[in-house]
Amino acid sequence: MADIKIRRMTWLDVEEVTAVEEASFAIPWTKEAFMNEMLRNEQAIYFVAVQDRRVIGFAGVWQIVDEGHITNIAVLPEFRGQGVGNQLLHALVTYARSQSLAALTLEVRVSNVGAQKLYEQFGFECAGRRKRYYQDNNEDALIYWAKLGSETE
């Protein structure tokens, strides 16, 4: 596999990020939503995974006071299982620590065991459940939290 670079997302990436989103989620965010994140949401920070100048994944977090809410992590289907999600989550955690955030949180589908295992590798722990959270099929979401400190994950 060619080298994958992780970098901050810009509005120029929105088209490709939207394609990754559409390939990953039943109810994807729109191009307009991502453009809004890039240009209007001062709390939003996104990273992209790029291989051969192609965006193959992305991850985002909203910084809310001293906590971060991970909004989405997605990788094109043909690149899943190759560590891209791990690299993106590492970038988010590193960023969060650089901003002295106390914790990160996210929701994940009960059925998405692979993602749950990834988050647990980074110190996330299940702290609750949101009933019927996902609109496409009313699946529950698990709420994960990770306390951040200076320790390495």
Give the residue numbers marked as catalytic. 107, 119
Residue 106 near residue 126, CB atoms below 8 Å: no
Token pair for 44 = 């939003």
Place of tokens 């001293």: 66
List, in order, residues 6 or more apart from 72 with CB less than 8 Å away. 21, 25, 29, 58, 59, 60
The rounded distance, in Å, linking the Cα atoms of 84 and 150 is 24
- What are the DSSP E strand ranges found in 17-152? 44-51, 54-64, 67-75, 103-109, 125-130, 141-147
Instruction: Write out the two tokens for 9.
Output: 């997302």
Query: 3-class SS at 86?
Result: helix
